[in-house]
Amino acid sequence: MRFAFFKKFSVFFDGLLACVLVLAIESVSRHSLISALQFSFGTPLTFLYNALLIFTTLLIAYLFKRRMFFRVVISAFWMILGIINGCVLANRVTPFNFTDLKLVGDLFAMDNSKYLSQAEQIIIMIALGCLVVFLVFFAIKAPKVAGKIHRVRNAACVAALVVALPFITRAAIQSDILSGYFGNLAQGYQEYGFVYSFAASVVDTGMSEPDNYSEETITVINDSVETEETSIDTEDLPNIIFVQLETFIDPYELNFLEYSEDPIPNFHSLMENYTSGYLTVPVVGAGTANTEFEVLTGMGIQFFGLGEYPYKTILKETTCESVANDLAELGYSTHAIHNNSGNFYSRATIFSQMGFDSYTSKELMNITEYNENETWPTDGILVEETEKALDSTEDQSDFVFTITVQSHGSYPTSQVFEDPVIEVTGGETEEEHYQWEYYINELYEVDEFIGDLITMLEDRDEKTIVVFYGDHLPTMGLEDEDMNNGSIYQTTYATWNNFGLEQEDADVAAYQLVAYITDQLGIHEGTMFTYHQSAMTEGTTEDDSYVTNWELLQYDLLYGERYTYGGEQIYEASDLEMGVEDVVIRSVEIGEDQETVVISGENFTPWSEVYVNDGPVSTEYISETELQVALSDVSGEDVTLVVNQVGSGSTIFRSSNEIVLSLVSR
């Protein structure tokens, strides 16, 4: 009787279930039931729209006899997404979105990140296992609907609602119940709910064709760009080095902390003596690759879908004009360097799409030192790697894009530094105090790297300019009012040069940074960079037409007919070389213990693996000149041995020379 009652009014109860699920998801996402209730009753129409989306998916159950089972499966699906979002927001500012699913492989590339402790990973695996067992059991025991199911009618109802959703959504956006664009992704999720925001990130990807896109429009835009010809002599081109500092900000911009001494004296010295300013970036707390994309291409993240990473979408499908392409046309050799996994954010692929000549990732570095929390390599090694890149080319100017990692989150809530160099005060709780103490002291060490890099470049006595900039603020709940500059979307940049370039301080956006610096150098190259240079010179960057035309150019270069290039894609993917030094095997000998084989050579790293007859064997890294493997793994006749530099997913980035040998097993 009770089951018949629920069956009769099942649609009503499904609507009620949808509302309960939205409330539960918002509670988990916001880490607060009170906040979820405020969202529900403060913006009831927005809340009901989120419930409508879940309700639509629950209607799928009406196509099956085991409706209760499918309701449970669908409800579990939504709750899992909400729980994931809650976990993500516990570690970063940016909420969980569809593009994050494309970064799952990158999490495995970050094998030392410790975003989740081993205990947390075990709990998750146990919970998922229990859920699977429950669903299997429930699938067997769940009640069935008696009688005939009107599948055609029910499917038609579901389809009708699905077809109506875009019209309902458009009306809600026009009525300001929802928004079609989030300038601040985290704020958008807060205002419009997780269900709508996540769903929007699924369907809202790439760029839509602008209304007035045509060959004539693009021609007019390009013809309106007014810059001088590149005035610098080819023989006088300086080395250009951009250093993207992971989660780096000026600590004095935090208005609630005090320090025992200046945490970043080298950076502040650069700000006083060379061009510097605020840098507006597109992300907070995470999303390094999106700031990187804007800097390298002059394009804007704001024109893509919610939470999208172009590195994981369009740039995996097509090449993209970048500063590497543009400087290469002047004769520059171009290099990227990063002391993290080569596959993270698909950089080994993307840097090829952008035209770089080489990319030195951690797999090509002799990394042995990590930060105090043992999560990330220290940045000091990047001085040596930057110098190697400069040394790799003779009689040629270099563009080097160096990416740091040491100050990456997350930040421990317990004491790490027993005797910190920089004493920090101002955290509201003990946990916050230790987080800020750890972070600020990591910045101090990164600043030492900045000083060491400048010293190395001074000793080289080559004409060089360096640009240091922070990619985003840290993930520690910062709000605009916590910042002296009033914005959590502003970091700082500072430069250095050794050829007397005039100091011209200015606040710029990430997509304008390369244009601003190269303009000072007398370099006027590239579609996007000359567009920004022209607008900055004319003072029209605040005009509506600036953004409109910028979007049109970006669409043309990435998705359109490429009218800018005469209807063709003139940039091809480069033959990217991983690292700038050869990995070399010099000799192979049986060890003194008569149980190991010693491989001697050059440029081995902790990511070197010995392959025997094309298959990997367990390899012990001894030093950059020595590896060891078990004799039993190498024994046999006519064995081919090679050392590969291996990244995540068993990606082989670089290989040594091959040696054919015959070692008879004892």
- pTM over cut 0.95: no
Instruction: Look at strands 398-403 and 596-602 and give their pairing.
Output: unpaired
SS3 252: helix
The Cα 4–Cα 636 span in angstroms is: 74
pLDDT of the residue at 507: 97
Query: What backbone torsions phi and psi does residue 48 show, to the nearest 5 degrees?
Result: -65, -30
pLDDT of the residue at 127: 76
Asked if residues 446 and 247 have their Cβ atoms less than 8 Å apart, the reply is no
Q: pLDDT by residue (tens digit) across 4-18?
A: 555 566 788 889 999
Question: Is pLDDT of 184 > 70?
Answer: no
Asked which of 99-108, 215-224, 302-311 is least confident by mean pLDDT, the reply is 99-108
- Nearest CA-CA partner of 97 in 341, 244, 301: 301
> Highest-confidence range of 16-20, 294-298, 308-312, 459-463, by mean pLDDT?
294-298
pLDDT of the residue at 663: 61
Q: pLDDT by residue (tens digit) across 114-152?
A: 455 566 567 777 877 887 887 777 677 767 766 677 778
Contacts 24+ apart (CB under 8 A), 427-431: 427/257
Asked if residues 326 and 525 have their Cβ atoms less than 8 Å apart, the reply is yes
Query: What backbone torsions phi and psi does residue 602 show, to the nearest 5 degrees?
Result: -135, 145
pLDDT of the residue at 498: 96
**Can you read off the two tokens belonging to residue 50?**
């989120």
Q: pLDDT by residue (tens digit) across 611-665?
A: 999 899 999 999 999 999 999 888 777 789 999 999 988 999 999 999 987 664 4
Percent of the chain with pLDDT over 90: 67
pLDDT of the residue at 120: 59
CA atoms within 13 A on the CB side of 154: 15
Distances (CA, A) of 419 to 266, 287, 424: 22, 32, 12
Distances (CA, A) of 533 to 182, 522, 576: 27, 11, 29
DSSP-derived secondary structure letter, 622: E
Query: Is the pLDDT higher at 25 or at 614?
Result: 25
Looking only at Cα atoms, what is the longest distance across the chain?
90
pLDDT of the residue at 295: 98
pLDDT of the residue at 112: 46
Asked which of 139-153, 187-201, 284-298, 563-577 is least confident by mean pLDDT, the reply is 139-153
Asked if residues 361 and 342 have their Cβ atoms less than 8 Å apart, the reply is yes
SS3 50: helix
The Cα 471–Cα 248 span in angstroms is: 7
Alpha carbon distance, N-terminus to C-terminus of the chain: 80
pLDDT of the residue at 609: 97
Confidence of residue 93 (pLDDT cuts 50, 70, 90): low
How does the average pLDDT of the chain come out, rounded? 90
Asked if residues 559 and 299 have their Cβ atoms less than 8 Å apart, the reply is no
Question: Is pLDDT of 180 > 80?
Answer: no
Asked which of 121-135, 152-166, 211-225, 316-330 is least confident by mean pLDDT, the reply is 121-135
DSSP E strand stretches across 548-607 = 577-578, 584-590, 596-602
The Cα 387–Cα 302 span in angstroms is: 35
